[in-house]
């Protein structure tokens, strides 16, 4: 009875969301056909390739500078936010509570709250505000990335510091070391390899994010894609997309290799610096070269502009105009519809992702398709291999194009508005979830599967009765995490024409109604926080079995939309 | 394409030298007005202005109206090309001075478009149909069309439910593809997109053209040396289409000739913006 009521409520909510996201069968094959025809051949003329090259360099520059800033901001905040250093645990056991320790505990809580705020507001929103506040060019993009990934990194760092094996910490403390001595001698050395690995991973995410910041005027590949779309130069769009995919693949590969070494070092307990110095890449590449790369990156990111006299004053003047946020009832009432649209976009987008991802995940599961004992003859084997590779390829393609680029493409197919946003979210989500689903199914313990096989069960029976029950909770956990991410993204799809709160934010910023923009930023923060909390509650039974670093990994991959966490 | 490249280079240089020296003039054009021309054929204008104003011109092509207004408030730009409504905002917030405008900007129009087979023949027929404006901040893509729609007592729910496409090009495309029943856009962009067949002229029909209103204008920031702003204004006023080089510049700017601009002529637009609750 209770289940029926719950199911009914869920169906009603989904129906509301389908209406809110403006789902309709409208699909314009003609417009899409024109786009597809326009896309080929990609524009490979030398002058345009030069534009692409500069855009790639600038995107990379924004990502490097943004990552550097996020470490600068995230590390101190992360240390402050570590509970065992300032708020509870054996380190504080011997201390008498005094005003100083109360102040430290309060600062620590404030740091946590600040980190939460920084990461709950999407990077594109930061970029929009910074573009207006700091002026034109790529500098606002780097700052926006720095601020939003500082929020993520700070939290991950705090989790890593909190999760180090307590033995050395307690021993040092017992020997009378101060908190900072304990941190420097016991916490940091143990956590450093993981810190380095997550920072590199965060860099990968920054590259993806930097590519779309241009949509709100922060330069780089996104700006060029936007411009080429507006000029109806679809061949250029394809070239830019290809360049983006290559850039992402290269950074992912390079960063994964580096990360692998940090993690190997982590096993032996060697420190960050030793790891880097011993590393092959670092040894082969002179330090000067790295410095040059960093300097170029900061130059590309327009960072020298930060030294401009009065820049902070300008931003301060802009920031003051945001206050007090407009909380008039008339304005708040006007936000109900965009809010509903945003939630709907995230729900419908996730639903599309579950459906499409689920369908693609089955042929992408090696244990289902490629088990040599199942396959009837060489032709069947070839066919299955083909189906497997094709579905993996489609999933990779869906996933490699960022949601906001999908929005631009979906607008061509279904027109402007929330449905384009939902569809775009759905396509990207399908790529992410499909891969996660397939990998989860591949990794279920094979005992029960083999038992069923021995009893003569067919493949669908084994899937339904052995693999599904074992994978169900993991699949549910991944899906909820993805919904959390999608909600964050659904607040910004409106910035490029996908409807919802993003559109309201964009319009109010453009009109100079800054107090209203501030209200919208607060609303987005609240919405994201509530969703995180809700999704956490729903996932509790799943997550409880996992170790603490897994939650850090989830956090970072959920926030970045990239499931391939270290 | 080289110009887009040049714009990027200039942008990164601008980042190095954000403060205007005596020999640098920081200029910006909003691309949403007419993107391809602004971006592809800008080099001759940059050369011409540098020459006439005796200063190195740094051109930026922002994609964000609000960023331009803020840049003018903060003295990060010297000269900018603004839409009429953006000008009204910037004059209120940043005290910018109008310099020159094209003769056509004094008598600008918006085109209301729909599909050839649609039943919409007049503003009154819009009732019950979906409608698209361009960028919320655009004079010819939002402010004036909305003003005239209100004047004509178009059903308010058409305006309330209207979508914002973000640009004139996107509005025309949405109408041509039947994504919305009707929309309003800048006449110059309409002309360019249909004559260059970026949008098939057979897929759209103009059903109403607004009365004339004032639109685009070149402005100088408050406090810019009058000698420099005067030189810029004179440079535009002196453009002559009998000179083949200058003709290219005029064509790139979709202009025949330039005339001096005054603030007072924007009073009606200001009033329209206040009425629509778009000015604060």
In a shared domain, residues A300 and A334: no
pLDDT in the model for residue A150 = 96
User: Which tokens in the block code for residue A90?
Assistant: 């054996």
Residue B221: closest CA among B47, B14, B46, B26: B26
Residue B62: inside a domain:
yes
Domain identity same for A341 and A273: no
Any domain includes A253: yes
Whether residue A534 contacts residue A549, with contact meaning beta carbons closer than 8 Å, is answered with: no
Give the per-residue SS3 of A62-105: HHHHHHHHHHHHHHHHHHHCCHHHHCCCHHHCCCCCCHHHHHHH
User: Residue A406 has what pLDDT?
Assistant: 92
Q: Are residues A301 and A344 part of one domain?
A: no
Together in a domain, B121 and B186: yes
Report the residue of chain A nearest B170, measured CA to CA. Answer: A230
Do B63 and A513 count as a contact with CB atoms less than 8 A apart? Answer: no
Whether B102 and B113 map to the same domain: the answer is no
Q: Are residue B48 and residue B167 in the same domain, yes or no?
A: no
Q: In what order do the strands lie in the sheet with B56-60?
A: B56-60, B24-29, B79-82, B217-220, B97-102, B258-260
Pair (B48, B183) in one structural domain: no
Q: Are residues B117 and B194 in the same domain?
A: yes
Alpha carbon distance A21, B148 (integer Å): 31
Check whether residue A194 and residue A264 sit in a common domain: yes
Q: Which residues pair with B133 in a beta bridge?
A: B164
**B32 closest CA partner among B159, B116, B160, B139:** B139
* Domain assignment of residue B276, yes or no: no
Q: Which member of A139, A217, A416 has the closest CB to residue B165? A: A416
Same domain, B101 and B222: yes
Query: Are A288 and A351 in a shared domain?
Result: no
User: Is A334 touching B (CB cutoff 8 A)?
Assistant: no
- Tens digits of residue pLDDT in B252-269: 787 888 999 999 999 989
**A34 belongs to a structural domain:** no
The pLDDT value recorded for residue A263 is: 59
Q: Is the domain of A442 the same as that of A480?
A: yes
A512 CB near a chain B CB, below 8 Å?
Answer: yes
Interface check A304 vs B, CB under 8 A: yes
Q: Do B36 and A417 touch (CB under 8 A)?
A: no
Structural domain that includes position B186: 109-209
Whether A298 and A347 share a structural domain: no
Give the CA radius of gyration of chain B.
19
Low-confidence ranges of chain A (pLDDT < 70): 1, 25-27, 94-95, 136, 262-286, 306-309, 375, 540-566
Residue A154 lies in a domain: yes
Between A136, A230, A311, which is nearest B35 by CB? A230
B93 → closest Cβ in A26, A305, A512: A512
Q: Chain A: residue nearest B33 by CA? A: A230
CB contact under 8 A, B65 and A310: no
* Residue where one domain finishes, among candidates B209, B224, B252: B209
Q: Are residues A243 and A288 in the same domain?
A: yes
> Tokens representing A328?
């008039």
Chain A residues whose beta carbon lies within 8 Å of the beta carbon of residue B70:
132-133, 135, 314, 318
CA angle A335, A336, A341 (to 5 degrees): 100
> What is the three-state SS of A332-344?
HHHCHHHHHHHHH
Residues B218 and B204 grouped into a single domain = no
| CATH number for the domain that contains residue A505 | 1.10.3720.10
Whether residue B83 sits in one domain with residue B42: yes
Residue B37 has pLDDT above 60, yes or no: no
| pLDDT at residue A22, rounded to an integer | 78
pLDDT higher than threshold 70 for residue B17: no
Does A449 map to a domain? yes
- Residue A497: both structure tokens together: 């024409």
The answer to whether A246 and A286 have CB atoms below 8 angstroms apart is: no
Could B136 and A507 be called an inter-chain contact, meaning their C-beta atoms sit closer than 8 Å?
Answer: yes
CA distance B261 to chain A (A): 23
Residue B67 has pLDDT above 90, yes or no: no
* Angle subtended by helix axes A139-162 and A99-120, to nearest 10: 130
In a domain, A5, yes or no: no
With beta carbons under 8 A apart, name residues in chain B contacting A232: 169, 198
Three-point CA angle A58, A61, A63, nearest 5°: 115
Specify the number of domains making up chain A. 2
Over residues B185-232, the pLDDT tens digits come to 999 889 888 988 888 899 999 999 999 999 999 999 999 999 999 999
pLDDT at A2: 75
Residue B69, helix vs strand vs coil: helix
What pLDDT score does A290 carry? 76
Determine the pLDDT at residue A262.
65
Residue B96 shares a structural domain with residue B118 = no
Say if A9 falls within a structural domain.
no
Mean pLDDT of B96-103: 94
A117 & A54 share domain: yes
Is the preceding peptide bond at A41 cis, omega within 30 degrees of 0? yes
Spell out which residues of chain B touch residue A138, defining contact as CB-CB under 8 Å: 11-12, 15
The residue in chain B having the minimum alpha-carbon distance to the alpha carbon of residue A139 is: B15
Contact A60, A297 (CB under 8 A): yes
Q: Does residue A535 form part of some domain? A: yes
Q: B220: closest CA among B22, B25, B19?
A: B25
Q: Are residues B65 and B99 in the same domain?
A: yes
- Using the beta-carbon criterion (under 8 Å), do B67 and A310 form an inter-chain contact? no
pLDDT at B149 over 90: yes
Scanning B34-53 for CB atoms below 8 A from A yields 35-36, 39
A463/A473 Cα distance (integer angstroms): 15
Tell which of B178, B209, B240 closes a domain: B209
Range of the domain at A95: 45-305
B93 CB within 8 Å of a chain A CB: yes
**Does B277 map to a domain?**
no
CA distances (Å), origin B122, targets A195, B174, B176, B184, B209:
65, 19, 18, 13, 10
Give the neighbor-by-neighbor strand order of the sheet with B205-209: B163-164, B131-133, B182-186, B110-114, B205-209
H or E segment to which residue A448 belongs: helix A447-454
Within a domain: residue B142?
Answer: yes
Q: Note whether B87 and B121 are same-domain residues.
A: no
Q: Residue A462 in contact with residue A449, Cβ under 8 Å?
A: yes
CATH number of residue B201's parent domain: 3.40.190.10
Together in a domain, A343 and A413: yes
Total structural domains within chain B: 2
Q: How many CB atoms are closer than 10 A to CB A538? A: 15
Residues A337 and A299 in one domain: no
pLDDT at B248 (0 to 100): 86
Please tell me whether residues A377 and A457 are part of one structural domain. yes
B252, part of any domain: yes
Residue A200 tokens read as: 């590199």
Residue B99 within any structural domain of the chain? yes
Domain final residue pick, B191, B209, B227 = B209
Is A379 among the domain residues? yes
pLDDT of residue B167: 85
Q: What's the rounded Cα separation, in Å, for the pair B39 and A430?
A: 37
List the single residue in B19, B65, B164 with the smallest CB-CB distance to A503.
B164
Mutation pick from B6, B12, B24, B176 vs chain A, by most beta carbons of A within 10 Å, is B12
Dihedral sign computed on CA atoms, order B114, B116, B119, B123: positive
Give yes or no: residues B57 and B118 share one domain: no
Residue A541: its pLDDT value, please?
Answer: 58
- Confirm whether the ipTM is greater than 0.85: no
CA distance A342 to A338: 6
Kindly state the tokens that stand for A495. Answer: 């910035």
Torsion angles phi and psi, residue A531, rounded to 5: -65, -45
Q: Is the dihedral of CA B149, B155, B159, B163 positive or negative?
A: negative
Q: Please, which residues bridge with residue B213 across strands?
A: B108
| Separation between Cα atoms, residue B233 and residue A563, nearest integer Å | 56
């Amino acid at each position: 009875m209770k289940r029926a009521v719950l199911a009914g409520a869920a169906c009603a909510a989904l129906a509301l969301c389908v209406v809110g996201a403006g789902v309709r069968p409208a699909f314009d094959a003609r417009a899409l056909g024109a786009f597809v025809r326009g896309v080929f051949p990609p524009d490979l003329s030398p002058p345009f390739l030069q534009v692409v090259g500069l855009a790639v360099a600038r995107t990379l520059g924004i990502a490097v500078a943004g990552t550097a800033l996020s470490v600068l901001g995230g590390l101190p905040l992360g240390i402050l936010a570590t509970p065992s250093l300032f708020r509870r645990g054996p380190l504080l056991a011997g201390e008498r509570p005094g005003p100083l320790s109360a102040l430290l505990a309060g600062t620590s809580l404030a740091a946590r709250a600040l980190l939460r705020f920084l990461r709950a507001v999407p990077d594109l929103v930061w970029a929009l505000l910074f573009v207006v506040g700091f002026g034109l060019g790529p500098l606002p993009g780097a700052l926006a990335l720095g601020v939003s990934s500082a929020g993520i990194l700070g939290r991950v760092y705090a989790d890593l510091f909190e999760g180090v094996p307590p033995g050395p910490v307690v021993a040092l403390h017992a020997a009378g070391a101060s908190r900072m001595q304990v941190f420097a001698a016991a916490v940091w050395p143990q956590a450093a390899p993981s810190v380095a690995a997550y920072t590199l991973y965060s860099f990968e995410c920054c590259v993806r994010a930097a590519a779309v910041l241009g949509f709100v005027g922060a330069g780089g590949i996104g700006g060029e894609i936007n411009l080429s779309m507006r000029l109806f130069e679809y061949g250029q769009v394809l070239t830019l997309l290809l360049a983006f995919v290559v850039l992402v693949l290269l950074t992912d590969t390079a960063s994964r290799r580096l990360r692998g070494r940090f993690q190997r070092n982590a096993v032996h307990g060697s420190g960050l610096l030793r790891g880097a110095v011993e590393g092959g890449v670092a040894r082969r590449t002179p330090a000067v070269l790295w410095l040059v790369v960093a300097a170029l990156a900061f130059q590309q990111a327009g960072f020298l502009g930060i030294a401009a006299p009065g820049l902070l004053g300008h931003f301060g003047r802009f920031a003051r105009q945001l206050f007090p946020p407009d909380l008039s009832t008339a304005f708040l009432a006007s936000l109900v519809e965009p809010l509903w649209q945003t939630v709907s976009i995230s729900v419908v987008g996730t639903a599309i992702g579950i459906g499409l991802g689920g369908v693609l995940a089955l042929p992408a599961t090696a244990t289902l398709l490629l088990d040599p004992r199942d396959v009837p003859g060489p032709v069947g084997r070839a066919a299955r291999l083909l189906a497997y590779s094709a579905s993996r390829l489609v999933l990779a393609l869906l996933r490699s194009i960022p949601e906001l680029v999908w929005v631009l493409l979906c607008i061509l197919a279904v027109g402007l508005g929330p449905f384009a946003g939902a569809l775009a979210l759905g396509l990207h989500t399908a790529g992410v979830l499909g891969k996660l689903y397939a990998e989860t199914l591949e990794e279920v313990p094979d005992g029960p599967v083999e038992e069923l096989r021995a009893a003569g069960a067919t493949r669908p029976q084994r899937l339904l009765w052995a693999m599904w029950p074992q994978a169900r909770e993991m699949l549910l956990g991944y899906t909820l995490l993805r919904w959390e991410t999608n909600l964050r993204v659904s607040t910004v799809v409106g910035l490029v024409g996908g409807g919802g709160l993003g559109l309201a934010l964009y319009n109010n910023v453009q009109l100079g109604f800054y107090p209203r923009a501030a209200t919208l930023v607060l609303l987005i923060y609240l919405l994201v926080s509530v969703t995180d909390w809700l999704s956490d509650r729903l996932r509790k039974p799943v997550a409880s079995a996992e170790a603490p670093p897994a939650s850090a990994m989830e956090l970072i991959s959920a926030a970045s939309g990239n499931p391939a966490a270290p | 394409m080289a110009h887009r490249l040049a714009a990027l280079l200039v942008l990164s240089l601008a980042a190095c030298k954000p403060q205007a020296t005596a020999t640098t003039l920081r200029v910006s054009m909003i691309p949403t007005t007419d993107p391809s021309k602004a971006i592809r054929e800008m080099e001759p204008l940059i050369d011409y202005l540098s020459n006439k104003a005796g200063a190195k011109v740094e051109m930026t092509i922002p994609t964000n109206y609000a960023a331009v207004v803020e840049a003018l408030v903060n003295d990060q730009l010297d000269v900018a090309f603004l839409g009429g409504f953006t000008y009204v905002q910037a004059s209120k917030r940043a005290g910018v001075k109008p310099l020159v405008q094209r003769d056509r900007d004094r008598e600008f129009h918006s085109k209301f478009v729909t599909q050839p087979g649609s039943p919409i023949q007049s503003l009154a027929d819009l009732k019950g149909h979906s409608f698209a404006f361009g960028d919320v901040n655009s004079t010819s893509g939002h402010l004036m069309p909305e003003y005239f729609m209100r004047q004509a007592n178009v059903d308010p729910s058409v305006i309330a439910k209207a979508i914002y496409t973000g640009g004139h090009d996107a509005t025309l495309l949405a109408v041509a593809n039947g994504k919305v029943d009707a929309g309003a856009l800048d006449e110059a962009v309409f002309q360019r997109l249909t004559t260059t067949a970026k949008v098939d002229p057979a897929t759209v029909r103009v059903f109403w053209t607004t009365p004339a209103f004032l639109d685009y204008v070149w402005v100088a920031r408050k406090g810019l040396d009058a000698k420099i702003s005067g030189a810029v204004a004179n440079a535009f006023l002196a453009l002559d289409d009998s000179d083949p080089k200058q003709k290219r510049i005029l064509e790139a700017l979709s202009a025949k000739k330039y005339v001096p601009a005054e603030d007072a002529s924007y009073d009606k637009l200001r009033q329209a913006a206040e009425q629509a609750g778009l000015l604060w």
